[in-house]
A = this chain, B = another copy of it.
Amino acid sequence: MRSTPAEDATTRSRIRGAAITLFARDGFVATSVRSIAEEAGVSAGLVIHHFGSKEKLRAECDAWIVAELMKNKGGVDEGNLSASMQVMLSDLDQYRPTLDYLGRMLLDGSEAGDRLLDDLVKLTETMLEEGVANGVMQSTSDPYMRAVLVTLHGVMPIVLQRQFARMLGEPGLTSTMIRRMTLPSLELYTHGLYRDATMLDAAREALKGNE
Contacts and interface: CB of A to CB of B under 8 A. Distances in A.
B148 A164 contact: yes
- Oligomeric state, in copies: 2
B184 A141 contact: yes
A183 B141 contact: yes
A189 B46 CA distance: 53
A22 to B, nearest CB: 13
Given A107-B160, A146-B188, 12 more contacts: A27-B27, A106-B160, A106-B163, A114-B163, A114-B166, A135-B195, A141-B184, A146-B184, A146-B187, A156-B156, A156-B160, A186-B200
A197 interface: yes
Interface of A: 27, 29-30, 106-107, 109, 114, 117-118, 121, 128, 131, 135-138, 140-142, 145-146, 148-150, 152-153, 156-157, 159-160, 162-164, 166-168, 179-200, 203-204, 207, 211
A197 B192 contact: no
| Chain A contact residues: helix, strand, loop or mixed | helix
A2 B169 CA distance: 46
A207 B179 contact: yes
